[in-house]
Amino acid sequence: MARDRIGLRGLKFYGFHGVLNEENSLGQIFIVDIDLFADLSIAGRSDQVEDTISYAEVYTRIKTIVIKERYQLIEKLAERIAEVVLAEFACEGVSVTVHKPQAPMQGIFDDAFVEIYREKKL
């Protein structure tokens, strides 16, 4: 598996994911971090955008998923992002973190998140 990676951090979107009715009707901010693992050596030598993965296209795809789709669990949201990115982009693996900083729980906290790692099936 490639050790090279393209990373995007702090992608912020307003979405409607959660178990509670209020989460589904009012929505909230979700933050996504993603790493795409791929061999970037060809792009490193060629300096040509067609030899790499467009992080702008990855951003747009993630934005569509978070904004337009709805899930109860951020685990499912992370899984969906991983499966789409693996299917649509030339990477071997992805690490996806979905943050839910306004998670509905009592207490003082900075963040609630899930992080998953998935690889393409051979």
Indicate which residues carry an active-site annotation.
100
- Rounded Cα–Cα distance for residues 75 and 116 (Å): 8
- Rounded Cα–Cα distance for residues 87 and 61 (Å): 12
